[in-house]
Structure 1
Amino acid sequence: MMKNPKEDLLLDALNGNINAFQSLFAEFQPQLKSYLYRLLANRNDAEDITHDTFIKTYDKLKTFKSQASLKTWVFQIATSIAYNYLKRRQRWVPNVSEKAKSLVQNNEELAGKIVKVAQTSEYGKYEIKEHIDTCFTCIAKNLPIENQIALILKDIYDFSIKDICLILEKSEGIVKYLLQNARGSMTDIFDNRCALVNKKGACNQCSELNGWFNPKQNQQQELLKLDLVKKSKKYNREELFKLRTNLVKAIDPLKSDGHELQNILLKCNQMAMGEIDINNSII
């Protein structure tokens, strides 16, 4: 019988070989960091907690019992660290983007930094699909933390209900309830705010930002590229939510063509929520 290289690596790691553990950890580290970024909405925080998770999981590796995969066990520890961090923050509000817009409009220096990233950065490109990804993150932060975690793990990263139960240390019934509640809340907020699919939607930021960063681009043509818009008259609210999650799943928020621009826009939202001091922030 052929040996499983991963089993050998895990055995070496359990025997104290940090290089073996690093090899195992590296396989899902990009996804872990992406997940934490969606939870925390801050690249530096995501990187710090990823680093803390590596140290903590290596230190606790001898307690790993293989009742779940190593990946699920690591995500459980990372989620616990992120959860404790998020408990110190308030939930975001549905109109956080509008608050951030007002903040930027009244701060020339901040507006100038955003324009500079958009005009000079290799990763400052803007497409509506990337804004929808950011919008998904912002709206998810309106949810209670456990609902947010369950939703992102299941609908964006395809974790099973069983694995989410282990990560959150909740029963199957509670996890299913958290998911149902989260999807319903997200659908309601999107339905009331998204101006892409609802003419009465309150948030026109997609159109406004596109006009700011891509003034020569035909806005209508850009909108029509999105299945979300094409199918908005055909599908119900729940199906539209699934379309959004499929779009978000296809994007790595840390590596997209517009990730630097999206990062600064999320920081503006953090400023609007009082998580970052606008006077002392380095963007």
Structure 2
Amino acid sequence: MEKEELLKNAIAGDINSFQTLFAEFQNQLKSYLYRLLTDRNDVDDLTHDTFIKAFDKISTFKQDSTLKTWVFKIATNLAYDHLRKLKRWPVNAQDQGANLAISTKEVSQSFRVVHQSFNAAAYEMREHIDFCFTCISKTLPIENQVALILKDIYDFQVREICQILDKTEGVVKHLLGDSRETMTNIFDNRCALVNKNGVCDQCSQLNGIFNPKQNQQEERMKLELVKESKKFNRSELYKLRTILVKAIDPLRSSGADLQDIIMRCTRTAIGDVSDFFDTAKNKSN
């Protein structure tokens, strides 16, 4: 059945047609929500709620945007309602997570258990760079984070982001410019992979823990980001990071399970999760 006919049937109330259309971008939607929420359970809940609300309101879809953009707007509004109850992440959130893991033997041991037992628990430096990108984007105001991720990671057009955020083109462009500058400044001051003065070198440290027989320097030099860092063009390094992040689905990559439990540790350390072990237990069930 052609997409136009599926949409016509969906608007008329055919849930099977709507489900077929929704499935075309469901994985990307969940990936996007994970970057905003950093919790798999919340992602599943909001994806379900988005589907229900979108189908319930499908008769109001005026087709002045793509269905995907319209659904992403619904999902973004639901995520915003959830996130505004939480505080923005501090710049040193990863440091706090690392300190929790170092000081709590059970936490660091849980990383090893996941690494050894789960199917998607490989450790790759590039995936931790993706993790780092998500953590640093969480330091932005919600609208800035949404605009940045939609444009630079999921390639939405500015006009589509305007529709999703209900903002003018000028406002969205300002959000993007401000967000990129903030992200670039934070990376410039923190990333020890590309700047010897950076304060964070988790990528290499964790690579050494989970891949002890691997030559860390060789792995570092495989990354285009590290190679180009010698030139140290800040804006180009940011673009290289977005290229790397675009290529990774944080929910389906080879290290998704390991990165998720590291994310849970970080969230626990900054107070977004009340008890790491409860959430880790729920994850394994």
TM category (shorter chain) comes to: over 0.9
Partner of 1:102: 99
CA distance, structure 2, for counterparts of residue 129 and residue 96 of structure 1: 19
CA distance, structure 2, for counterparts of residue 280 and residue 238 of structure 1: 39
Partner of 1:190: 187
- 1:282, CA displacement in angstroms? 2.6
- 1:153, CA displacement in angstroms? 0.1
- 1:7, CA displacement in angstroms? 1.1
Where do residues 29-178 of structure 1 align in structure 2 (5 Å cutoff)?
Answer: 29-178=26-175
Deviation per residue, 1:100-146 (Å, 9 max, x gap): 11111222222211110112222110010000000000000000000
CA distance, structure 2, for counterparts of residue 257 and residue 64 of structure 1: 37
Partner of 2:264: 267
Alignment TM-score, normalising by the size of structure 2: 0.96
Partner of 2:228: 231
SS of the counterpart of 2:279? coil
Q: Which amino acid aligns with 1:166?
A: Q
Deviation per residue, 1:152-180 (Å, 9 max, x gap): 00000000000000000000000000000
The range that moved more, 67-76 or 102-111, is 102-111
Q: Which amino acid aligns with 1:243?
A: L
Q: Which runs of 5+ in 1 are unaligned?
A: none
Deviation per residue, 1:29-83 (Å, 9 max, x gap): 0000000001111111111111100000000001100000000000000000001
Q: Which runs of 5+ in 2 are unaligned?
A: 281-285
Q: Which amino acid aligns with 2:279?
A: I
Partner of 2:283: none
Indicate conservation of the 8 Å contact 2:194/2:229, yes or no. Answer: yes
Is residue 2:9 matched to residue 1:12?
Answer: yes
Pair 134,52 (structure 1): closer, same or farther in 2 beyond 3 Å: same
Q: Which amino acid aligns with 1:160?
A: Q
CA distance, structure 2, for counterparts of residue 67 and residue 12 of structure 1: 18
- 1:251, CA displacement in angstroms? 0.6
Percent of residue pairs bearing the same amino acid type:
58
The range that moved more, 100-109 or 60-69, is 100-109
CA distance, structure 2, for counterparts of residue 269 and residue 27 of structure 1: 32
SS of the counterpart of 1:37? helix
Indicate conservation of the 8 Å contact 2:153/2:242, yes or no. Answer: yes
CA distance, structure 2, for counterparts of residue 47 and residue 282 of structure 1: 15
Alignment TM-score, normalising by the size of structure 1: 0.97
Deviation per residue, 1:217-271 (Å, 9 max, x gap): 1000000000000111124100000000000001111110000001001111110
SS of the counterpart of 1:126? coil
SS of the counterpart of 2:25? helix
Poorly superposed stretches of 4+, deviation over 3 Å: none
Instruction: Provide the aligned C-alpha RMSD in A.
Output: 1.0
SS of the counterpart of 1:113? helix
